[in-house]
């Protein structure tokens, strides 16, 4: 890890040190009811610089923002979780399914690309077989690829860089 979680989040202005550990976040978390996710614990781990990047709970968050809206301390909890995920990904920690989605965007421009069934349904509805997105415009897809090369995303997602 290149930076301590507490420092990373403080630098981004997420003020997790003010957390009172009241548990309002965890109480309102729809994921936490059905998964092991404990939002309060993630915040606590981050400010104590525990190994939060390898915490599976980071990926249980649906980003519904219930915790962030209800936090009496106004802490940007979801934004902090997203920042911790980013740090994890940049340290090679990424779920296989998420890598596949990222690869789909690099190669097809869409997280959910078109398939034969959708092409058929589009025709039945009187729509063009290909939607007016990058599927129909190859030059646009090239732009997307070029842009993701420029930002370093292609390199970040490549299998070789993974743990």
Partner 1 sequence: MNSVSIFLGCIVPNRYPGIEKATKLVLDELGVDWADLEGASCCPAPGVFRSFDKSSWLALASRNIALSEAMESDVLTVCNGCYGSLSDANHEMKNDPKLAKETNKHLESIEMTFKGTSDVRHIVEFLSKEIGIEGIKEKVKQPLDLKVAVHYGCHLIKPSKERELDSVEKPSFFDELVEATGATSIDYADKMACCGAGGGLRSALLDKSLDIAEHKFQNITEAGADLIVNACPFCHLQLDFGQIEVKDKNGNEYNIPVLHYTQLLALALGYSQEDVGLDMNFIKAGNILEVMA
Q: What is the DSSP code string of 52-117?
A: GGG-GGGGG-----HHHHH-TT---HHHHHHHHHHHHHHTT---HHHHHHHHHHHHHSSSS---HH
CA distances from 117 to 56, 107, 130 (A): 35, 20, 12
**Subset of 93-152 contacting partner 1 (CB under 8 A):** 94-98, 101-102, 105, 109-115, 118, 121-122, 124-127, 131-137, 139-141, 143-144, 146-152
Residue from 66, 71, 75, 80 touching partner 1 (CB under 8 A): that is: 66
| Nearest approach, Cβ of residue 54 and partner 1 (Å) | 15
Indicate the length of the chain as a whole number.
Answer: 163
| Nearest approach, Cβ of residue 128 and partner 1 (Å) | 9
| Nearest approach, Cβ of residue 48 and partner 1 (Å) | 22
| Nearest approach, Cβ of residue 139 and partner 1 (Å) | 7
Q: Report d(CA 10, CA 16) in Å as an integer.
A: 7
Q: Report d(CA 41, CA 67) in Å as an integer.
A: 13
**Subset of 38-57 contacting partner 1 (CB under 8 A):** none
Residue from 1, 6, 10, 35 touching partner 1 (CB under 8 A): that is: 35
Q: Report d(CA 26, CA 41) in Å as an integer.
A: 9
| Nearest approach, Cβ of residue 74 and partner 1 (Å) | 10
Query: N- to C-terminal Cα distance for the chain?
Result: 13
Total residues binding partner 1 (CB under 8 A): 65
Q: Tell me which residues touch partner 1 (CB under 8 A).
A: 30-31, 33-35, 59-66, 68-69, 78, 82, 85-86, 89-90, 94-98, 101-102, 105, 109-115, 118, 121-122, 124-127, 131-137, 139-141, 143-144, 146-153, 156-157
């Amino acid at each position: 890890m290149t930076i301590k979680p507490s420092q990373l989040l403080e630098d981004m202005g997420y003020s997790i040190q003010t957390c009172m550990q009241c548990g309002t976040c965890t109480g309102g978390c729809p994921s936490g009811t059905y998964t092991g996710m404990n939002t309060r614990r993630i915040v606590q781990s981050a400010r104590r610089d525990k190994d939060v990047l390898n915490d599976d709970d980071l990926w249980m968050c649906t980003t519904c923002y219930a915790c962030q809206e209800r936090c009496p301390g106004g802490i940007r909890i979801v934004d902090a979780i997203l920042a911790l995920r980013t740090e994890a990904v940049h340290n090679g920690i990424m779920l296989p399914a998420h890598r596949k989605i990222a690869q789909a965007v690099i190669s097809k421009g869409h997280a959910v690309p078109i398939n034969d069934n959708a092409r058929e349904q589009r025709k039945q509805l009187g729509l063009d077989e290909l939607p007016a997105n990058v599927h129909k415009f190859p030059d646009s897809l090239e732009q997307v690829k070029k842009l993701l090369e420029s930002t370093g995303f292609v390199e970040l997602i490549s299998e070789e860089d993974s743990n």
